């Protein structure tokens, strides 16, 4: 059996799921570097039409256990799709669809792994996306000091299961990416979550900045959802 087959099988599993009224389909192929794969994830609508561009495209690596590197994704999330004949969808405008997609992505990301997602995809691919534009604006501000996890793309990384979310991907040259890290074990999960709670709580307790009210509204709503999810219940 080809050593790379189990990894491709994991990607294939990611590409055979229901997403609301859509169905995911994946194309992947090995890169020259062992254990690394290029992949494209498409959606098929109820009429049987495939999206003209992928909803997610990027690289998957199974990591290197000998160097204690877990598997990771480096992706573009296109968000807005065209199926032809005027049939379009924007996942972030459909209740729960973008969250469901990232939850699926999290399921195939191993413990200790990472998901790096570009916030300039709309610029690179030439389409309009509030999801990316708002994230980009937030990360460019010094005040208010918005946590990366509270940005639109940061919220999706949180939904995927990442608890250590940073505004710049680790060691990625020319990075314009958010980086989300999965906890490698329960001890790190507690530590990551506590740091996240403190960071988000501090932001939520700060005085809103009227100059950026549009960004504050979005990010504070995300912050409230994050705290509701991670706060201990009696």
Query: Residues 83, 55: contact at Cβ < 8 Å?
Result: no
Label residue 7 by pLDDT band (50, 70, 90): low
Q: Where are the domains of the chain?
A: 5-230
Residue 3, pLDDT score: 47
Token couple for 6: 């189990």
Label residue 1 by pLDDT band (50, 70, 90): very low
* Buried residues in 110-130 as b, exposed as e (16+ CB within 10 A): eebbbbbbbbebbeebebebb
Tell me: the pLDDT tens digits for 12-65? Answer: 778 778 999 999 999 988 888 778 899 999 999 999 999 999 999 999 998 777
């Amino acid at each position: 059996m080809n050593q790379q087959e189990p990894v491709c099988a994991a990607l294939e599993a990611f590409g055979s799921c229901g997403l609301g009224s859509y169905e995911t389909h994946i194309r992947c192929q090995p890169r020259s570097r062992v254990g690394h794969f290029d992949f494209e994830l498409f959606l098929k609508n109820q009429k049987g039409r495939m999206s003209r561009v992928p909803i997610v495209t990027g690289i998957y690596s199974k990591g290197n256990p000998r160097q204690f590197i877990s598997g990771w994704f480096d992706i573009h999330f296109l968000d807005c799709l065209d199926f032809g004949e005027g049939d379009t969808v924007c996942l972030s405008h459909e209740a729960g669809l973008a969250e469901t997609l990232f939850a699926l992505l999290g399921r195939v990301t191993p413990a200790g792994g990472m998901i790096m997602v570009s916030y300039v995809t709309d610029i690179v691919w030439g389409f309009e996306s509030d999801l990316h534009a708002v994230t980009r604006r937030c990360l460019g501000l010094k005040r208010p000091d918005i946590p990366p996890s509270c940005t639109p793309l940061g919220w999706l990384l949180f939904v995927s299961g990442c608890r250590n979310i940073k505004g710049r991907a680790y060691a990625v040259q020319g990075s314009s990416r958010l980086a989300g890290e999965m906890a490698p074990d329960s001890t790190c999960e507690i530590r990551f979550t506590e740091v996240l709670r403190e960071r988000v709580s501090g932001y939520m307790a700060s005085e809103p900045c009227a100059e950026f009210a549009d960004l504050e509204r979005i990010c504070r709503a995300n912050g409230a959802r994050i705290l509701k999810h991670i706060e201990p219940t009696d």
